Amino acid sequence: MSFTSNLIFFLIFFLFFIIFIDLVQSQQILSDPDSDECKGKWVHVRKLPSSFNLDLLVNCSNYPIYDDFCPYLANHGLGHKTHNRSHSWFRTDPFMLELIFHRRILEYPCLTSDPNLADAIYLPYYSGIDALRYLYGPDVNSSSEHGLNLFRFLQQDSPHLWNRNYGFDHFLVMARPAWDFSQPLTHDPPIWGTSFLELPEFFNVTALTLESRAWPWQEQAIPYPTSFHPPNLQLLESWIGRVRRTHRTTLILFAGGGGVSSSPNIRHSIRVECENSTSSNSTINSSITKLCEVVDCSNGVCEHDPIRYMRPMLQSSFCLQPPGDTPTRRSTFDGILAGCIPVFFEDLSAKSQYGWHLLEKQYSEFSVFIPKEEVVLKGLKIIDVLTSIPKSEVRRMREKVIELIPRIIYRRHGDSMGWRTKKDAFDIAVEGAIQRIKSRIPVRSGS
């Protein structure tokens, strides 16, 4: 995409978004303040200067860590459609979740322009995009300052909003793993990441991240965006019907990269087992024609091409979700979307992450856990574990996975009213943030 086309695209995007934001924020109350439906659910969107969100998109082709993420800004962060006739499928980049969330919250039914009525205050700060300039490039040595400009603004603009609860009633979305914002302030010289979540100024803010650390209370992982964003309930139910009807001819699928070196790790073990599995096809039932398939997603070739991995996932019973550079994977949610039973190798990959969306006590009902040490160090065969599961149990687990689909997708903005009878990942995240805030404010106020 040329510089000129980038500029034209961005100007159109910017004007449309800013008009929509101003239209929403100019309304005094978007719902009846006495509504029982909104009791305890009111959200106020803090109006921030555009330097904290939309202005960060102007240089979408010039950040040093990305060659060009301008195409992923289309459709308010959903990306371009996978094909022109598509209504639900987009080439979504997971790091655009801040835009997706911002656009969706402007349609949240319990918005109020009066912060004194709000149960929670949302900060529409594109922290993950702003972080890019600190990861590589001229500002890398200032990574400990990431977020300080935002704090200064909050202190200067209606400071009582921040000070009344010391920031406990504020929340934001950070569309990267929390580790990318957790560089200790004492690191000199800086290494990877910024120090946003290490700043005492933001210790009280609830941060919704793609992956959280184990100990800080304020971090909560929410699902990576998939490429499926249906605008209405009919299209969602149509997809679920397809998932339920699909004939699954592959036992195991691994869609990912890595594992090609000889060093022992779980991805290497998976690749070796898959390569050696073809001669064992006669040992499985007649409905399965392939024991194991690998969709090689090395070098990011799958990131914006859902067709490459969704079709194989639809045809597979189990989708392997080994950790990589970090414990979590977007593929976990792609697999659930396809009705493919997830197989985890460590709790940090999901069980201790997504408690609002995937209840920890239900993991045995929709997933399989195989300790990676048993596979890598003791030679346990993944195929042996999965083929030992009775067919009736596999069917029951798959049905539970299918039930989870609405909870892990982000529906498209401008959705029909019928969609709102079901909660999607956005709805659950907002509800969770409000409950987290309510649980903290009494503790702080009474201290």
Total number of domains constituting the chain: 2
State the Cα–Cα distance between residues 81 and 231, nearest whole angstrom.
Answer: 13
Q: Phi and psi (nearest 5°) for 58?
A: -60, -40
Per the domain annotation, does 205 fall within a domain? yes
CATH code where residue 366 lies: 3.40.50
HSE, CB side, 13 Å, CA atoms: give it for residue 275.
Answer: 9
Task: Look at residue 210 and tell me whether its pLDDT is greater than 80.
Answer: yes
Q: Name residue, tokens 């094909």.
A: 83
Q: What confidence score (pLDDT) does residue 30 get?
A: 55
Clarify whether residues 178 and 237 are in a common domain: no
State the Cα–Cα distance between residues 205 and 218, nearest whole angstrom.
Answer: 6
Per the domain annotation, does 154 fall within a domain? yes
pLDDT bin (cut points 50, 70, 90) of residue 26 is very low
Task: Look at residue 138 and tell me whether its pLDDT is greater than 60.
Answer: yes
Task: Look at residue 415 and tell me whether its pLDDT is greater than 50.
Answer: yes
Q: What confidence score (pLDDT) does residue 22 get?
A: 52
Per the domain annotation, does 3 fall within a domain? no
Are residues 133 and 209 in contact, defined by beta-carbon separation less than 8 angstroms?
Answer: no
Buried b (16+ CB within 10 A) or exposed e, 166-182: ebbbbbbbbbbbbbbbb
Clarify whether residues 242 and 382 are in a common domain: yes
Per the domain annotation, does 271 fall within a domain? yes
pLDDT in tens, 220-259: 999 999 999 999 999 999 999 999 999 999 999 999 998 7
Per the domain annotation, does 15 fall within a domain? no
Per the domain annotation, does 22 fall within a domain? no
Residue 116 vs residues 27, 95, 154, 191, 302: alpha-carbon distances, Å = 15, 32, 16, 41, 45
The domain of 245 spans 233-407
Task: Look at residue 280 and tell me whether its pLDDT is greater than 50.
Answer: no
Residue 368 vs residues 34, 85, 232, 250, 253: alpha-carbon distances, Å = 46, 37, 32, 17, 14
Peptide bond preceding 109 in cis form (omega within 30 of 0): no
pLDDT in tens, 159-185: 999 999 999 999 999 999 999 999 998
Per the domain annotation, does 13 fall within a domain? no
Clarify whether residues 54 and 151 are in a common domain: yes
Q: What confidence score (pLDDT) does residue 65 get?
A: 67
pLDDT in tens, 284-305: 556 788 999 999 999 889 999 9
Are residues 86 and 133 in contact, defined by beta-carbon separation less than 8 angstroms?
Answer: no
Clarify whether residues 399 and 295 are in a common domain: yes
Clarify whether residues 70 and 175 are in a common domain: yes
Per the domain annotation, does 35 fall within a domain? no
